[in-house]
Every structure is written in structure tokens, then in C-alpha cells.
Amino acid sequence: MKITDAKVFVGGPGKNYVTLKIMTDQGVYGLGDATLNNRETLPAAYLTDYLIPSLIGMDPRRSEDIWQFFYRGAYFRRGPIAMAAIGAIDMALWDIKAKLAGMPLYQLLGGKSRDSALVYAHAAGADLEDLIASIEGYVAQGYKAVRVQCGVPGMPTASYATPDIKGGTAPFITDFSGIRPKTEIWDTEKYLRFMPAALAEIRARFGPELKILHDVHHRLLPREAAAFAREVEPLGLFWLEDPTPAEDQDALKLIRQHSTTPIAIGEVFNAIWDCNKLIENELIDFIRVAVTYAGGITHVRRIVDLAGQHHVRTGFHGAPSHSPISMAAQAHLNIWAPNFGIQEYLVLGTPACDALFPSDHHVTNGLQYISDAPGLGVDFNETEAARYQYQPGSHPVVRLEDGTLWNY
Ligand code: GCO
Ligand code: MG
């Protein structure tokens, strides 16, 4: 069996999804997602210029050897661009393998460990009242877990992932007005004075059952993060995410020494080597990698297994930039992983998105139910794809009030 061709598409409804389609001499094809938010043309070029020419002619069933070939063979290993490209190939090969077996992918991983997988939605408000209304909306839809982000009084701009005005909708992270980033202003002291009390009000308002998550988005220093985690400890958060940038894995020790608030980290990691110390030293509770830029199912499964040895559960990244293909790959891992925790899930199911990526994976009452179709269980409509093209966009950058550049 041989790979005969592979094509890359960039575009989608309001997103720049990078979709890989691998064709074989037996008519079976596989799909992968290489979307790297706001750098989409780069994994696309890495695939087209460097990987696909070697891929053609290979036996698609040898997914392990193909992964090793592209990872070890590159010499310059890792990094989000290369790992997103390798990840897309890997997803597509597992799609092919499961289609050949006539089974949904989760059966090849070891079968179902649960009937459905818990997901969380994103609630956001320009202020606390606005945020509470947003949470109420998700609770009314049956969500059991909600990430809560709130505008901070006195902060000169909106905070991370919050609307500019009351009643507004939180912007999708990407600003499509061009490549040049807008600036958000950040003030740690204002945030630290406001956010723990806001979380306490949310807990009091919604009671003990709601699973409350909060994303600090890398903005605090380790000592500040430790103090924050300790202060909110009585609120029983489901998790506190990215309290501090994780380039320094040792920084997480300080947080752990001062608090039992569960810590989630890893959406920007590309490899097991970014989180092995965090996991082995049991400094985190949830690992947030994504099958896209952490090298696909083959590599993420290794991270999940390492995590499982150390009481670390999964909480895969599911920002809106992930296409239904990687969300499907994660759905299969979620239904299998013995150490599954939660899945970030933002409503993908707009009519335009469903038309581009038909599937019957679905979320009801805050629970994700998996498709039993062979493979990943998601398709790609090339006629629909022809309607879209790449649109340049960017993340904001963050500065302190005096102009110092900070972590977005
Ligand atoms: C999350 C994330 C994202 C990122 C985005 C950047 O927890 O979902 O923090 O929303 O900001 O992926 O491109
Ligand atoms: Mg995050």
C-alpha cells in the first residue's frame, strides 16, 4: 500500500484552518489538521515544501516509522511549526489505519473508558455582572464546567479574551484586520486585587457543583501565581490555567509548595520534553497539549501515558483555531484515555463549519459523544473549501502601562 498524493488547504469560515488530505493507492484517504493560530502558512509550507515530497510513495500503515522519519530525520527537532506539520500527517495516517480496520479510531487505542467526555465552555464578561450572565447562559445549556474570564476594573483595555463592552461577545483571539498586532494593557496589581474576589462571587452565586476554570494566560510571576493559587484555594476551582509562563518548568515548584489549587498547563508545548519534569515531579494536575502542534496522536499518546503514571489528567487545548479534524482526534483520545480529565470545547458547529467538515461527533449537556464512523469520523468537503482563502491576522501583544512588553 502506498501514499499517492497529499494536498494542503488553508482557509475556513472565519478561521485559517490548515487541512491535510493524504491519498492512497487503495482509494482510502486520511485527514489531518496542522492549524497553528496566526502562523498558518508556515506549517502549510513545511508540509508542502519539505514533508510531502518524501511522504509520497511511503506505506501509510507505517505511522510510527513515518513519525520517527520526520522527527529524527529533520535534525532540527521540535518547535510548533514542524510539530504541527508532523501532527497533521500522523492524524491522517491514524485516520487511514482506522478506516482500513473498519473501526472508529478509539477502538485501536484500546476502546472506550467512558460513555462520554466532560467538556468546558468559555464564559466571559466586560465586568462581573456581564460574566455572570454569560455563565448563566452556559449553565442553562447544560454545561457542567465553564472557564470564566472577566474585564478588570480600571484596566485601560479589555483583559485576555473578554469583550470591550458590556453585553459584547468575547472576540475570537485572532484580529483579522492585518498582521500588525493590536496592544492590550495589563496591570498585575489591579488583576490580583480583583480576580480572587470575583471568583469567590461566582462560586457563591453558582454553588459547589459548577466546575469553575480560570486562565491566567501566562501573566503572573511565579511568586504572584503562588499567592493567587493559595488565595483561591478555598473556592475549589477545577483548575487554574497557565499561571506563569512554562519555559521555566521549575517555576511551578513554588506554586505547588504554597497551594493545592489544581494547575493546568501546556497548550503551547510541542513535545514531551516541554513537560516531562512537570509531570514526573507532579507539579501539575492537567496537561493541556494539543494533538496538532504536539506531534499528533502518536506523540500525544506518549505524553498521556507518562502523565497517567503521575496522577496528571488530560485537558487538551480546544481553542477555536482547532479544526473539527484535530477536535475529532482529541475526542477519540478523550474517550479512551484512562487519565482523561476534561476537554476545552468551543462551539464549532456553525452551519458553514459543518458543511466544510461533516461529522456526527456532538456535544450535548456539556458532554462530548463520539462518532462510531470508521477512522476519525470527520470528512472534508473540497467544494466548500474552494470558497475560502487565507486571511492574514494576529494575536494582540500585551504591554504594561509604562510600555514594557509582557506575556500575551
Ligand atoms: C485557551 C487558550 C487560547 C489561546 C489561543 C492563542 O485556553 O483556549 O489560552 O484561547 O489564547 O489558542 O492562539
Ligand atoms: Mg489557555
Ligand 1: residues with CB < 6 A are 37, 173, 215, 217, 267, 317, 319, 321, 344, 395
The residues annotated as belonging to the active site are 160, 217
Which CATH number does the domain housing residue 92 bear? 3.30.390.10
Tell me which of 62, 79, 104 is where a domain ends. Answer: 104
Q: How far apart are CA 236 and CA 285, in angstroms?
A: 14
Q: Is 31 exposed, middle or buried (0-12, 13-18, 19+ CB in 10 A)?
A: buried
**Ligand 1 pocket test: which of 217, 244, 316, 323 has the largest number of ligand atoms within 8 Å of its C-beta?**
217
Q: Could you tell me the CA-to-CA distances from 162 to 127, 130, 183, 190 in Å, in that order?
A: 9, 10, 14, 16
pLDDT (mean) for 146-167: 93
pLDDT at 175: 87
Q: List strands edge to edge, sheet with 183-186.
A: 183-186, 397-400, 405-406
Looking at the fold, whether 52 and 198 belong to one and the same domain comes out as: no
Q: Residue 88: which domain range? A: 3-104
Going from the Cα of 172 to the center of ligand 2, the distance in angstroms, rounded, reads 13
Cβ distance 295 to 90 under 8 Å? yes
Residues 105, 64, 96, 294: is their CA dihedral positive or negative?
A: positive
Residues 73 and 126 in one domain: no
Same domain for 383 and 303? yes
pLDDT tens-digit map of 241-295: 999 998 888 999 999 999 999 999 999 999 999 999 999 999 999 999 999 999 9
| Pair (264, 390) in one structural domain | yes
- For residues 118 and 48, membership in a common domain is answered with no
**Does residue 320 share a domain with residue 247?**
yes
174 pLDDT band, cuts 50/70/90, is confident
Do 122 and 98 reside in the same domain of the chain?
no
Instruction: Specify the CATH number for the domain of residue 314.
Output: 3.20.20.120
Label residue 78 left, alpha or beta by phi (over 0 means left) and psi (-120 to 50 means alpha): left
Nearest to 127 by CA among 30, 226, 194: 194
Ligand 2 (single-atom ion) residues, CB below 5 Å: 215
Amino acid at 268: V
Asked whether residue 87 falls in the same domain as residue 113, the answer is no
Do 83 and 167 lie in a common domain?
no
Residues 15, 46 within the same domain: yes
Q: pLDDT tens-digit profile of 32-70?
A: 999 999 999 999 999 999 999 999 999 999 999 999 999
Instruction: Kindly state whether residues 86 and 137 are assigned to the same domain.
Output: no
Q: How many domains does the chain have?
A: 2
Q: Are residues 178 and 71 in the same domain?
A: no
Rg (Cα) of the chain, in Å, rounded? 21
